[in-house]
Amino acid sequence: MAVEDLIEMKFRLADGSDIGPSKFSPSTIVLSLKEKITSLWPKGYSLLKSTQKC
């Protein structure tokens, strides 16, 4: 497969850092994308903010 046939994806986290860019075949399934992104996800980083109620 030629390089121009690949899809390049990059994810931006809320703190401005990026995951990727990574190149994938158009036939890549969502599960494979999820596994790749979660393997690159920064350890200890969460999208959920803790809230304190007074």
For 1-54, the pLDDT digits (tens) are 555 689 999 989 888 889 889 899 999 999 988 898 888 888 887 766 666 565
**CA gap 31, 51 in Å, rounded:** 31
* Residue 8 within any structural domain of the chain: yes
| Residue 35 lies in domain | 3-40
Residues in the chain: 54
- Residue 37 has a pLDDT of 86
- Residue 38 has a pLDDT of 87
* Residue 47 within any structural domain of the chain: no
| 8: alpha, beta or left? (left if phi > 0; alpha if psi -120 to 50) | beta
* Residue 9 within any structural domain of the chain: yes
* Residue 54 within any structural domain of the chain: no
* Residue 48 within any structural domain of the chain: no
**CA gap 49, 40 in Å, rounded:** 20
Number of structural domains (the chain) is: 1
pTM flag (> 0.75): no
* Residue 18 within any structural domain of the chain: yes
